[in-house]
Amino acid sequence: MTAPHRGAPRDVRLVLWLGALPMLAGAWLPWVLLRPNRLAPGEPLRLDPGWLLGAAALALLPALVGHWRRGWVWPAATAALALGIWLLGQETAAALVGQAPFARASASSGVWLYLLGAGIALFGAAQASPERRWVGWVWLGPLLAAALSGHLNAWSVVVEGRSEGARWVQELGQHLRLVGTALGLATLLGTPLAIWAADRPRVAGAALGLSSGLQTLPSLALLGLLIAPLSALADAVPALRAAGLSGIGISPALTALTLYALLPVVRGGLLGLQGVPAGVLDAARGMGMTRTQRLWRVQAPLALPLWLGGLRQAAVVLIGVAAVAALIGAGGLGTYIFKGLQSAASDLILLGAVPAALLAVAVDAGLRRLEGWLGTRLGRAE
C-alpha cells in the first residue's frame, strides 16, 4: 500500500513556480532608487550578495515545499513576502544614510517584481490548502508590524505621506464620502427598480439595457458630458446653485458615480429576486401570504446574498472611478495620482494609488465574507 501524496496538486505547483520566477528576477534587479529629491533622476541600488542569496532562496522555497507538503506552502510564501517588506524598509533606510533631508529612497523594479511573485505564491498557498483560505491573509501581520514599528519610515511614499499629513487624511475622507454617497444613492434608486422589474420582463430588460449603456461610457467622457447640463441647470434654478449644484466639483462626480453603480445594484437585485425557486413561492402562496408578505418574508431574505454581491461589485468599481473625479475638482485620492502624473513624481502617484487599491481589496474581501455568511444563514437564490 503506497502512502498518500501530501504535495500540492500539479496545477498549484505550476502557480508556485510562476510566482518564483518574478521573485528571482526581482531579487537580481535594483531594489532601491536613490534620488536627491522627489523629481530628480535616481541611482539604482541592488541588494548585497548575502541578501540576494537569501531572497532567492525564499523565492524558491514555496515551489519546492509544494512538491512534498502542501500544508507547508503558506508559511514559506508568507516568509518570502515578509522578507520583501523587511528588505524594503532596511534598504531604503540604508540608502538615506548621509543624504540630504529632501533625498528620496523609492522602491525600484526589484521590489515590485518580488512582491508580485510573493503575492502569486500566496495565492497558490491558499489554493494548496483550500480548507484554510485564511492563510492567504497572514501576510497582513508582517506588513502591519513593519508599518506600526516605523520600519518603513524611510520609504519615499511614507515620507510623502508624512509631509502631506492632514491633507492626505482629508482627501482619503473625501474619497470615502464620494464612494459612500454614490453607493447609497444607487441603492435607493436601484433597489426599488429591481423589485418593480422582477416580475416584469420588459421593464427588467429596459432597466438592464439602460444601466449597461451608461456603464459603457468612459468615466472621463461621462464626467465631461455632465458639466454642461448641470451648469445650465444651476444657472436656470438659482435655488439649486445655492444648494451646491454646479457644473464642476462634487455634483457631476456624484451623478456619474451613481449612474456607474446602478448596473451592478439592479442586476444583483434582479438575479436574486428572479432566482427564488418557484416551489418556494408556491408554498408561500399556499400559506396565504400576500404579494408583499412573499416579497419581504421569502424573496428578500433569499435574494439578499446576491443583492449584496451586486453592492460589492458596485463599491469596488466606485473606488476606482472616484479617483478620476479629482480631474473636475471633486477631490479624493485621485488628487495625488494626477498631481504626481503632472510633475512626474511617482511617489505622489503611489500615495494615491496604493491606498485606493488596498481600500478596494479590503471592501471586496469584507463584503464577500458578509455575502457568504448571509448565504449560509439565510439560504440563497440560484
Give the model's pLDDT for residue 232. Answer: 86
Q: At what angle do helices 346-378 and 334-343 cross, to 10 degrees?
A: 150
User: Given this model, what pLDDT does residue 5 score?
Assistant: 60
CA distance linking residue 187 with residue 185, whole number of Å: 5
Sheet holding 32-35, edge to edge: 43-45, 32-35, 104-107
In this predicted structure, what is the pLDDT of residue 292?
84
Nearest to 332 by CA among 179, 157, 165, 161: 179
Rg (CA), the chain: 25
pLDDT at 23: 95
* Alpha carbons 232 and 14: distance in angstroms, whole number: 58
Any idea what the Cα angle at residue 152 is, between residues 148 and 157, rounded to 5°?
A: 115
Tell me the C-alpha distance between 127 and 74, whole Å: 10
| pLDDT at res. 27 | 94
Give the residue carrying C-alpha cell 451646491: 244
Query: Rounded to whole angstroms, how far apart are CA atoms 278 and 287?
Result: 14
What is the per-residue pLDDT across 130-144, written as a single tens digit (0 to 9) for each?
777 777 778 888 888
Provide the 10 A C-beta neighbour count for residue 172.
17
Q: For residue 83, what pLDDT is reported? A: 93
Task: Name the pLDDT band for 56 (thresholds 50, 70, 90).
Answer: very high
Please give the DSSP secondary-structure letter assigned to residue 37: S
Distant-in-sequence, close-in-space partners of 249: CB < 8 Å, separation ≥ 6: 328, 329, 330
How far is 358 from 134, CA to CA, in rounded Å?
Answer: 17
Residue 147 has pLDDT above 70, yes or no: yes
Q: Which residues of 136-149 are buried (b: 16+ CB within 10 A; e: fewer)?
A: bebbeebeeebeee
Helix (H, G, I), strand (E, B) or coil at 48: coil
What would the mean pLDDT of 146-163 be, rounded to a whole number? Answer: 88
Question: Residue 261 CA to chain centroid, in angstroms?
Answer: 16
CA torsion angle 103 109 112 117 (round to 10): -150
| Band (162; pLDDT cuts 50, 70, 90) | confident
Q: For the full predicted model, state whether its pTM sits above 0.85.
A: no
Phi, psi for 151 (deg, rounded to 5): -65, -25
Percentage of the chain exceeding pLDDT 70 = 97
Question: What is the band of 282 on the pLDDT scale with cuts at 50, 70, 90?
Answer: confident
Highest mean pLDDT among 53-57, 249-253, 269-273: 53-57
Whether 118 has a pLDDT exceeding 90, the answer reads yes
Note the pLDDT tens digit of each residue in 207-250. 888 888 888 888 888 888 888 888 888 888 888 888 878 878 88
What is the structure's pLDDT at 381? 57
Chain-centroid distance of CA 230 in Å reads 31
255 touches 226 (CB < 8 A): yes
State how far Cα 238 lies from the chain centre: 39
- Which pLDDT score, from 0 to 100, does residue 380 have? 60
One-letter amino acid at 137 equals W
Phi (first) and psi of residue 133, to 5 degrees: -65, -20
End-to-end CA distance of the chain: 43
* Alpha helices (H) in 238-277, listed in sequence order: 238-242, 250-274
